[in-house]
Amino acid sequence: MEGEESTETKDSSCTPDPVKDPVKNRNETTMRTKEEDMLSMITWNVDGLDDEDQPERARSLCSYLTSYSADVVVLQEMVQPYMRFIHKRLSDTYIFIKGGEEGYFTMMLLKKSRLTLLNSEIVIFPNTHQMRNLLVAQVLFRDQKLLLMTSHFESCKASATERMWQLRMVMKRMSEAPDDETVLFGGDTNLRDYEVTTVGIPSSVCDLWEQLGEPEKCRYTWDTKANTNKGITFKCRFRFDRVYLRRAAKEGVPRLHPHSMALIGLEKLECDYFTSDHWGIYCKFSVE
């Protein structure tokens, strides 16, 4: 019973305290070290343009970002009210970089305790009709140079030509980065598979989903069959949101390797809406 002293005598030399077990502690330390060595990222089109139950969806977004605590967060369709809401709650944890000021824009969040921001820039897509651009940040992660990118490519089927041009521009920028830099892109590309085939992906660049064996549960990030936010009655499923990686090529420089990915935002809120009409992608990369 609680409070009673046991009269049984134990040989402490033969019965190690599990809390002080050196083997267990060493294994737990190794696991923590491996986690610390990994880079984590979330990419998510948050649909800030939709006013329906925006406060509850914004609270849900903050909850996801806090729970997953990714090193890098890249968001699309951000608007000023959403940005102010998130900044108020997460500015102690993250550096905020905006891809615009008016209308809707992309945004990048960099965890202060894990990443050092060196510089950032906004690259304009000259022929866009939808205020689209490429947001780029150069950072240090565990003394390794990373070039982080996000974008929201031109929307709608009729914009295929411009969207493919934007993909070409991003791939050119990724493949021409210095050999000692790892380049990581995440964003809402609005791409159809045939458009990617038409453009082609450089051999130095890999698609995270493909590299991880094309997991079916992560195939569709915009799925009107499962996500009812837009009230679309017909089934429409696309892999709009994508993650691309170009590893550093210089000998002796640490390289990122795809480790895992999962869709997030799958839970319907009390307001009967999901956090966004897109699922987010949470992914991890190991460093070797």
- Looking up residue 264, the CATH number of its domain turns out to be 3.60.10.10
What pLDDT, on the 0 to 100 scale, is given for residue 170? Answer: 98
- Confirm whether 8 is domain-assigned: no
The number of beta carbons lying within 10 Å of the beta carbon of residue 69 is 14
pLDDT of the residue at 209: 98
The answer as to whether 11 is a domain residue is: no
In this structure, are residues 168 and 137 in contact, taking their beta carbons and an 8 Å threshold? no
Q: Kindly list the distances between the CA atom of residue 42 and the CA atoms of 54, 172, 185, 249, 270, in Å, as whole numbers in the listed order.
A: 20, 23, 11, 25, 23
**Distance from C-alpha of 71 to C-alpha of 188, rounded to nearest angstrom:** 19
80: closest CA among 56, 93, 99? 99
Contact 139, 123 (CB under 8 A): no
Whether 260 is in a domain gets the answer: yes
The per-residue pLDDT string of the chain (288 residues; one tens digit each, 9 = 90 and over) reads: 333 333 333 333 333 344 456 555 545 544 555 778 899 999 999 999 998 999 999 999 999 999 999 999 999 999 999 999 999 999 999 999 999 999 999 999 999 999 999 999 999 999 999 999 999 999 999 989 999 999 999 999 999 999 999 999 999 999 999 999 999 999 999 999 999 999 999 999 999 999 999 999 999 999 999 999 999 989 999 999 999 999 999 999 999 999 999 999 999 999 999 999 999 999 999 998
Is 119 domain-assigned? yes
Active site residue 47: no
Is residue 160 in a domain?
A: yes
Structural domain harbouring 106: 40-287
Q: Which of 188, 223, 241, 277 is catalytic?
A: 188
224 contacts 230 by C-beta, under 8 angstroms:
yes
Q: How confident is the model at residue 111, as a pLDDT? A: 98
Q: Is residue 24 part of a domain?
A: no
The structural domain count of the chain equals 1
CA gap 283, 192 in Å, rounded: 21
Q: How far apart are the first and last CA of the chain?
A: 52
Whether residue 33 is contained in a domain is answered as: no
HEC string of 194-254 equals HHHHHHCCCCCEEEHHHHCCCCHHHCCCEECCCCCCCCCCCCCEECCEEEEEECCCCCCCC
Bridge partners for 186 per DSSP: 243
Query: Is residue 3 assigned to a domain?
Result: no
